[in-house]
Amino acid sequence: MNKFTIVHLSDPQLTAPAQSPQYHQQVAPITKLQRIFDDIIAHRVEPDLIVVSGDLLQGGTSSDYARLHTYFEQQSQRVGAPIQVILGDQDDREAFNIGYLEQKHQPYYAYKQVYQNMDFYFLDSKWEPNKEAGWLEREQLDWLNKNLHLAPRRRAFIFLHHPLDTPALRGMRYAILQNNRELLAILHGHNIGGIFTGHLHFGVSYLVDNSIPVTCVGSATTYIDCQDLHHHEVHDGVSYNIITIQRGMASVTSHPLFLGQPVIDTITIGNTGFAKHRPRLTGQHRTNDSVPF
């Protein structure tokens, strides 16, 4: 099997010209994002795929998402690789559907693609009632389960915005995926090569279910120091990962491009545990097997 290279970045949190960036950022988010694409070209990374795993826009309208689509198409042509996106907690699903996908009434955005006889799943963990934590709907889990069983021997890799639970993130449980057990029950016994996430604004790697590697990429806009569980310090920061897959095995290299020393904001956290109210795993939603653009 040939080497397959993925550039993984997350949380660009772009803003419209009339809006102020989240936190007190000293460098505009679009400048930071462009720095990543420029670095990819300057260092001749030559990826086969680029994945942007959520929090695309802050307070974005349908027009903002349409402009983002155009921008990503331009960068895709420059780099020579397709750009796939998923939604994060800060994204507006309706505006994304209309502006980015040019369609309406899509309750969530999840899809599957096959590269070099490997399955790549892009899941939508945005949870409407809770702007921070993540959730996977029952129909999306059923769709994932069905597709995994269609190709049980094929190596599968999964991208979503919210990380899965682990003891190292016990102080972040208010922000991570809330139905970890349901997802792991579906993945158990399948040929999962790795799970890749964003959202935390710092990088971390760990195992779940004793065998599945999870890698959370740092943010394209800020670095958040969460050592103090109730007071998180925010810095300007730019980082992305390069995922190299060969013979079904993935290795990840972090590429930090910038870290501002001043603390530009502080986030105060109260309850650090899981959300108390969880939605029922019911509904009538659908997913796509391929990207609709």
The answer to whether residue 219 sits within a structural domain is yes
The answer to whether residue 276 sits within a structural domain is no
The answer to whether residue 85 sits within a structural domain is yes
The answer to whether residue 285 sits within a structural domain is no
Q: What is the C-alpha R_g of the chain? A: 18
Q: Which residues of 26-36 are buried (b: 16+ CB within 10 A; e: fewer)?
A: ebebbebbebb
* Cα-Cα-Cα-Cα dihedral sign, residues 166, 55, 215, 210: positive
Q: What is the pLDDT of residue 131?
A: 80
Could you tell me if 55 and 85 are in contact, meaning their C-beta atoms sit under 8 angstroms apart? no
Enter the tokens of residue 58.
Answer: 């802050």
Could you tell me if 217 and 240 are in contact, meaning their C-beta atoms sit under 8 angstroms apart? yes
Q: What is the pLDDT of residue 17?
A: 64
The answer to whether residue 18 sits within a structural domain is yes
pTM: 0.92
DSSP-derived pairing of the beta strands 111-115 and 118-122: antiparallel
SS3 readout for 151-170: CCCCCEEEECCCCCCCHHHH
Q: What is the pLDDT of residue 25?
A: 83
- CA–CA separation, 85 and 283 (whole Å): 24
**Concatenated DSSP letters of 171-195:** GGTTTSBS-HHHHHHHHTTS-EEEE
Q: What is the pLDDT of residue 288?
A: 47
Q: Write out residues in the chain with pLDDT < 50, as ranges.
A: 282-293
Residues of the domain holding 174: 4-268
The answer to whether residue 293 sits within a structural domain is no
Query: What's the number of domains the chain is made of?
Result: 1
